[in-house]
Structure 1
Amino acid sequence: MTHNFICLSCSIMETSISYLAQDPIFEWEKPFDTDVPVDHIPRARAANHKNDEREVTVFPIIDATQWDLEKHGFCFIKATTGLTAEDALTRKEEVQKDYWYEIEALLHQRFPQYSRIECYDCTVRKRDPDFPANIRLYAKVEQPARRPHSDCSPRGAHLNLDHAFPGQQEFWQGKDFDILNVWRPLRGPNNDWPLAMCDWTTINPLTDIRVNDAIRRDRVDENAILHYNEKHRWYFMRDQSVEDLIVFRNADSMGKRAQGFHCAIFNPEANGQLRESVEVRCVAFR
């Protein structure tokens, strides 16, 4: 696939992305961050990250059908789902399983290579008016994530399942599986802090990706973060509707497939409602 079809009339976006800086500290210390308050702990750090803020050009999705999960790390599904913004924001625990079943059915229809798909996580985000100036820890609803990342590493994929399905390790140990996300806005059309995807074919896995410990209140996950590379090509869907689902692979159990590195980006032309979004994470067995 080539990307020479972009034209001026397609409204490319000039913005910035907060990459992870290439810091010498990583020669002796693994990157980490936490969403647990640590101010009360002497000499504790919430992270050992430094920002590498870069000006980038983000290109609009012109033809959603041209993107392939296996090649680019992400793709799109056009579908109507039943989860409303009101229910997601006020009754998530009560309605998320029905939404999971819808997502599982859509994925089975689109990706016949998967023999079994099970959703296990649902995250709802509603941007605060003062984000990103003030990012609150453990807010009732999560905020957009500015750092380009993949939600889990290959090791983190196993840690995810250990947490989501305790005592059932025999069902995934040694198996070939992917951890997929399905992301969409809860209200549309959305242009406020849209989700941007990095084309996997423009990422150098040997130099651009840094594995990171994500410290939670009850466990330690492992995800992956991006360092800057001028070859990266970023894309977003302008005026994304609630029926425009982005599907991306966070990681696979073998560590050999395309990953969907992503982040929320500031859109200088946004003039609509503040972003509300929902994302489901699932395990898909081959």
Structure 2
Amino acid sequence: MTTAAPRPTPAHELSTSQPAVSASKSTDVNFQGLPIPRGSVIASLSFYQAPADGSKPYNFVEKQPEGVPQRNFGEAWNEVKVDDLRGQENKFNMENNAFATLSNISSEEHEFLRDERIRQVYYPEVEKLLLDTVPGANRVLLFDYTIRRSTPNAERAPVVRVHIDQTPASAAARVRHHLPDEAEKLLQGRYRIINVWRPLNGPVMAHPLAVADSATVNDADLIGVEHRYPDRTGETAAVQYNPEQKWYYWSGMTNQERLLLKCFDSDETVGAWGRVPHTAFVHPNTPEGAIGRESIEVRALVFG
């Protein structure tokens, strides 16, 4: 087994020549004429609370069987300082913090209403983006996407629960599931799962996405949760509250900006911090009547 490298310095302990945007300088507005919420805030985040009976936690992806709760674990709400990434983006990268920011990214897809067009137009853009920006990447497989809308009848809404989409076991299972004929060879090399997240109706005013600096997250904070599909069972990670965790959001994200979220990394030199807890949250300074957030996240297996 490869000896793990020293744990990186958490980003909040690094200096930067670019000051963060303060709440007092929040003078920009969206198309509604409402001020875009910016600056560090204290927000309530939903963390993991273990099942009362001590059983293994689970969550049904689709409708659960009759008489069975959709999930058997609870929520532990904690007040957390969430710092603004805006103006200090250069402090963070995929290797040390498990997330990164990208700006000025164009797309030929604007509606995000038809599955066929998303796969034909947007998927190739995301694949190229990952190959161009992720160090060492030489092959990308996009295996699914989720569109979230803050409307009453939306199929998927923003998730206000701290989580990580994959665990080491479920990441390897993803490779075997999607590339069964090549899996054993691919699993011998480096493979990562990376989500590409962007708003569809930016700038984001409500339910922004918060991420934890992975260098401040302990393995003991993470709990595997059975992710039950109709035809198989995967695994996600719930996250326990720990005051040592440092949280961030990118205020007022636009349609030309991307957050890269690394959910797993097989490279043992960065694997201990190769996963980023994340959650939507209620920004206390979101103005009344602000447009609800719409977003798309594309999940990718990245090899090399």
Q: TM-score range by the shorter chain?
A: 0.7 to 0.9
Partner of 2:247: 234
Confirm or deny: 8 A CA contact 1:184 1:246 kept in the other structure. yes
**What aligned pairs does 1:1-286 form with structure 2 within 5 A after superposition?**
1=11, 2=13, 9=24, 11-22=39-50, 25-26=53-54, 29-38=55-64, 40-41=66-67, 44-61=68-85, 62-82=87-107, 84-86=109-111, 88=112, 90-129=113-152, 141-165=155-179, 167-170=181-184, 172-205=186-219, 207-253=220-266, 256=271, 257-271=273-287, 272-286=290-304
CA shift for structure 1 position 96: 2.2
Return 181-190 or 3-12, whichever deviates more: 3-12
How many residue pairs were aligned? 270
Q: 1:106 to 1:79 in 2, by over 3 A?
A: farther
Confirm or deny: 8 A CA contact 1:154 1:254 kept in the other structure. no
* Distance (whole Å) between structure 1 residues aligned to residue 266 and residue 53 of structure 2: 28
What's the % identity of the aligned pairs?
A: 26
Partner of 2:28: none
* Distance (whole Å) between structure 2 residues aligned to residue 118 and residue 170 of structure 1: 16
Q: SS at 2:159's partner residue?
A: coil
CA shift for structure 1 position 198: 0.4
CA deviation map 1:176-219 (0-9, x unaligned): 200001101011111210110001121111x2110111112222
Q: Structure 2, unaligned stretches of length 5 or more?
A: 1-10, 25-37
* Distance (whole Å) between structure 2 residues aligned to residue 38 and residue 12 of structure 1: 38
CA shift for structure 1 position 277: 0.1
What is the TM-score normalised by the length of structure 2? Answer: 0.81
What is the TM-score normalised by the length of structure 1? Answer: 0.86
Confirm or deny: 8 A CA contact 1:96 1:122 kept in the other structure. no
CA shift for structure 1 position 3: 5.9
Q: What letter is aligned with 2:187?
A: Q
Confirm or deny: 8 A CA contact 1:178 1:253 kept in the other structure. yes
Partner of 1:135: none
Q: Structure 1, unaligned stretches of length 5 or more?
A: 130-138
Cα RMSD over matched residues?
2.3
CA deviation map 1:82-120 (0-9, x unaligned): 25452x1x2023322421211121222222311212222
